[in-house]
Amino acid sequence: MPEDSILFNKQIYVVSESEAGKRVDKFLSDKVRALSRAYIQGLIKEGHVTIDGATCKRNTLVREFQSVMMEVALPATFSPTPEDIALDVLYEDDYLIVVNKPPGLVVHPAPGHFEGTLVNALMNHCGTLSDVAGPLRLGIVHRLDKDTSGAMVVAKTNEAHDALALQFRERSEALIKEYVAISEGEFRFDADTIDLPLGRHFRDKKKIAVVFGGGKESISRYQVLERFKNYTFVRVLLKTGRTHQIRVHLKALGHPIVCDGYYGNRRRFRLHDVVPEKKRSELTEQQLNRILIGRQALHAYRLQFEHPKNGEIIDVQAPYPRDIENTLEALREWALPEGVN
C-alpha cells in the first residue's frame, strides 16, 4: 500500500465452486455492489487486491477455494467536507447532539458513499466533532445501518466521546436502546428473551448469523406491541449491541423484519401484501401497488444514556418515520386478527 494512503476497509472472500473461472474484477464487483467495476480495477492496479497473498491483474481468473483480499484505501489527506443536509435534532448542547437519522442516510463515509453522509451533515451543523474514531468517523460513537432510522448520539468533544463510548462498551445501566420493528408472521409469545450468539456467516463474511461455539454473546428482549394477520409490531430492547443483532435474532425466530432484503424475503412491501384477497376488488391496481415501505421496517425509537459531563440522564424518543406510519396504518385497516374490530 502506498505510504500516502490510509487503509479504510479490508475484506476477504473465498471463491466458491460456482464463482470459479470469473475474472477477479468481476468476482469482486459481484461481491461488493456498492463499488463500481472501474473503481475495483483501480484498486487492483494499485496493488490493493491479492489472491492467496499475491498481487494480480484485473483479468486474472479466480479458482475455487482461493482467498481474494481487497483493501479499500484513501489518500492520507482525505477528510469529509461539510454538506448542507437537513437534520432532525432531538437534543443538543456543547458536548453532544442526538439526531433522528432518516432511512437511507449512510452514517459515515464508506465504500461507494464518500459524500452525503450523516458525518457530512453534522460537520456543517456542529462545526466541531470529536476525532477519537478517526477522520472518517468524526463524532460517531455508535451507528445505525443505512436503512435503519432513529435516534443516534454523536459526540462533539473527545472527552464526551470517550465517556459515551465507555457506556456503550460496558453496557451501562443508564444506557437503554429501544427499537421498534414490523416483522413477518405472528409471534407465539407476547414477550421473550432471545439469547443466541452471533458471528460472521461461514460463507458470506458480510452477513451475520447465529454461531454456536464461537459467536459472541448477543441478547435481545422483545415485547409485542400490536398483532396483525401474518405480521407483528414489536418493541426490542438490546442488552448487547452486535452488528445486525435485531435483524438476525428476529430471523432466527422465523420472523424476519418486513422488507429486510438481506435477511428476509422481500425488498418492497405494497398495499397488495396487506389487503385480503376477497377485498382487493374494492381498490384500483394503482392503490394496490402503492409501496408502503422499501427498506427494513426497523426504527431506533428510544435512546437513554448518562450525560458525559454532568451525569444527567438524557432520554430521547425519535418519532416514527412516514413509511413506518404508513405501514402500520395499512395493517390496522386491512390486517387486524379475526375478532378484532
Enzyme catalytic residues: 145
Contact 290, 282 (CB under 8 A): no
> Among 217, 204, 250, 234, which Cα is nearest to 16's?
204
Non-local CB neighbours of 36 within 8 Å, separated by 6+ positions? 29
Distance between CA 321 and CA 326 in Å, rounded? Answer: 9
Q: Residue 100 and residue 319: Cα distance in Å, rounded?
A: 8
d(CA 85, CA 102): 11
Handedness of CA 282, 285, 286, 291 (dihedral sign): positive
Q: What is the DSSP string of 107-148?
A: SS-BTTBSSSSHHHHHHHHHS----TT-TTSTTBSS---TT-
User: From the centroid of its chain, how far is CA 90?
Assistant: 20
Q: In sequence order, what E strands does 34-105 have?
A: 49-51, 54-55, 67-75, 89-92, 96-101
Query: What cell was used for 227?
Result: 398483532
Give the amino acid at 250: L
